[in-house]
Amino acid sequence: MGLEKAVIKNLDTNEDIEVLFNPDEYIITKQTPWREHLIQGLDSPPVEFISGERKNLIMELYFDNTEDKKDVRKSTEKIEELMMVNPDEHRPPLLLFSWGSLKFKCVLEDIVQRYTMFLPDGTPIRAIIKIMFKEYSDASRQFKEKPRHSSDHTKSIILKEGDSLSKISAKEYNDPKKWREIANANNIDDPLKVKPGTILRLPPLY
């Protein structure tokens, strides 16, 4: 079996860019941010999950034209063009980085080009490009792959400025009319008088 080459596919144009030299390694990072709520009198602020962040795929790609003495920028510019706006879609192209079992749908978000060898006239013939791909997944696909349901256990949140029971109900239960269940679980008679900073219990809905 021959060596499988890494490929960057432009999903907008269906064009492939075959990586000349497979990367020595790659790094995948992901963060899950939590937001703190400052409440006077507490030693440690409560935190709330807001939304996950996209994965990053980071690697270095090598380009070497020392044998044929050609300008290596003709190859590196093909990578750089993947950051340029698609005039039809009004955004940079969507990409798929494939290497063996790794399939990463993404956009190219960051690129650092380092030229390390030159001809006597200054023409670069060797380059190392550090790139960061950012995961791409639209909302409809995420909801289809992992449907959101109401919690199967009671949890607590903090009412923030501008929130209402109906807005929380829409977010947590996908139904703003379920605000009554929240009100009943918290012994709330008038939902319009609930103050920001109030800790609310969200009951499970079966």
- The predicted-structure confidence for 57-112, as pLDDT tens digits, reads as follows 999 999 999 999 999 999 999 999 999 998 888 999 999 999 999 999 999 999 99
Question: Can you spell out the DSSP letters for 56-122?
Answer: EEEEEEEEE-TTTT--THHHHHHHHGGGSPBTTTTBPPPEEEEETTEEEEEEEEEEEEEEEEE-TTS
Q: Is the pLDDT of residue 154 over 80?
A: no
Topology given in CATH for the domain delimited by 149-202? Membrane-bound Lytic Murein Transglycosylase D; Chain A (3.10.350)
- For the chain, which residues make up each domain, given as ranges? 7-142, 149-202
Instruction: Out of 1.10.357.10, 2.40.40.20, 3.40.449.10, 2.40.30.200, select the CATH number for domain 7-142.
Output: 2.40.30.200
* Predicted TM-score (pTM) of this structure: 0.67
- The predicted-structure confidence for 1-23, as pLDDT tens digits, reads as follows 568 999 999 999 999 999 989 99
